[in-house]
């Protein structure tokens, strides 16, 4: 291969991966969320609901780390969803800094509606692709993601949000053998 050739391939691949990730966020995540919740819920608020559904957040710091925001912003996000009756918030015992977040019936229905629409959309989007090709591509992307995390200097601090929209397991734990900052110390890390 000519000098710079593999670099060109890597750049092309990363460009394509970035475009695909952007398309997933804009076309799949945001448009489906708009169909289900209208303009009443932001993608960040939706992520927070998904996080509560799938994890056991204990502190505002957990929420902040997961969302990639400050503690103040995380607290405001939680408060906003509590006021809209999409989350319940209770102080932990005996440590009042700990919180217990739980979904309400309206937020459960919203997440169920999103999941149903997502399933129908994914069937439409991928019906023209052979299953074995999609599985091979998924494994390749997982290995590449794990490689990126594994070679990152602060990889203990990297959280891929456990594939929160499309998977129930933690990619970082499964492929890299590390717990992300959110799951470190948790007994219930999905694997």
Is residue 3 one of the residues assigned to a domain?
no
DSSP helix/strand/coil, 183: coil
* Co-location of 29 and 119 in the same domain: yes
Give the chain's domain count: 2
* Co-location of 67 and 120 in the same domain: yes
Judging by DSSP bridges, how do beta strands 87-91 and 99-103 pair with one another? antiparallel
Per-residue pLDDT of 19-32, as tens digits, reads 888 888 888 888 89
Which domain-ending residue is among 128, 146, 162? Answer: 128
Is residue 50 one of the residues assigned to a domain?
yes
Non-local (6+) Cβ contacts of 110 within 8 A are 36, 37, 41, 49, 86
Which domain-ending residue is among 128, 153, 171? Answer: 128
Is residue 1 one of the residues assigned to a domain?
no
Q: What is the CATH number of the domain that holds 98?
A: 1.10.10.10
Say if residues 170 and 183 touch (Cβ distance below 8 Å). Answer: yes
Is residue 9 one of the residues assigned to a domain?
no
Is residue 7 one of the residues assigned to a domain?
no
* Co-location of 94 and 24 in the same domain: yes
* Co-location of 30 and 94 in the same domain: yes
Bigger pLDDT: 29 vs 166: 29
Section 54-71 average pLDDT: 80
Query: For residue 76, what pLDDT is reported?
Result: 93
Non-local (6+) Cβ contacts of 22 within 8 A are none
Cβ neighbour number for residue 17 with a 10 Å cutoff: 13
- Cβ-based burial of 18 (10 A; exposed 0-12, middle 13-18, buried ≥19): exposed
* Co-location of 110 and 72 in the same domain: yes
Q: In sequence order, which ranges of the chain are alpha helices (DSSP H)? A: 5-23, 31-37, 43-54, 60-67, 71-83, 105-126, 131-151, 171
Q: Is it the case that residue 131 has pLDDT exceeding 90? A: yes
Whole-angstrom distance, CA of residue 103 vs CA of residue 15: 37
- Least confident interval from 46-50, 60-64, 104-108, 123-127: 60-64
Cβ neighbour number for residue 5 with a 10 Å cutoff: 9
Query: For residue 55, what pLDDT is reported?
Result: 76
* Co-location of 86 and 107 in the same domain: yes
* Co-location of 34 and 53 in the same domain: yes
Query: For residue 86, what pLDDT is reported?
Result: 95
The parent domain of residue 189 ranges over 130-191
Bigger pLDDT: 95 vs 50: 50
């Amino acid at each position: 291969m000519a000098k710079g050739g593999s670099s060109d391939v890597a750049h092309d691949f990363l460009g394509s991966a970035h475009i695909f990730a952007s398309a997933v966020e804009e076309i799949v995540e945001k448009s489906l969320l708009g169909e289900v919740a209208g303009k009443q819920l932001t993608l960040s608020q939706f992520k927070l609901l998904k996080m509560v559904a799938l994890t056991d957040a204990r502190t505002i710091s957990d929420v902040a780390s997961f969302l990639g925001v400050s503690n103040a912003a995380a607290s405001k996000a939680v408060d906003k969803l509590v006021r809209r009756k999409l989350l319940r918030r209770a102080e932990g015992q005996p440590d009042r800094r700990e919180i217990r977040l739980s979904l309400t019936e309206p937020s459960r229905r919203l997440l169920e509606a999103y999941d149903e629409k997502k399933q129908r959309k994914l069937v439409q989007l991928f019906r023209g692709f052979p299953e074995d090709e999609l599985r091979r591509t998924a494994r390749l992307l997982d290995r590449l993601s794990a490689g990126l995390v594994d070679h990152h200097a602060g990889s203990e601090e990297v959280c891929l949000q456990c594939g929160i929209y499309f998977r129930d397991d933690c990619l970082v734990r499964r492929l890299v053998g590390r717990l992300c900052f959110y799951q470190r110390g948790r007994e219930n890390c999905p694997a």
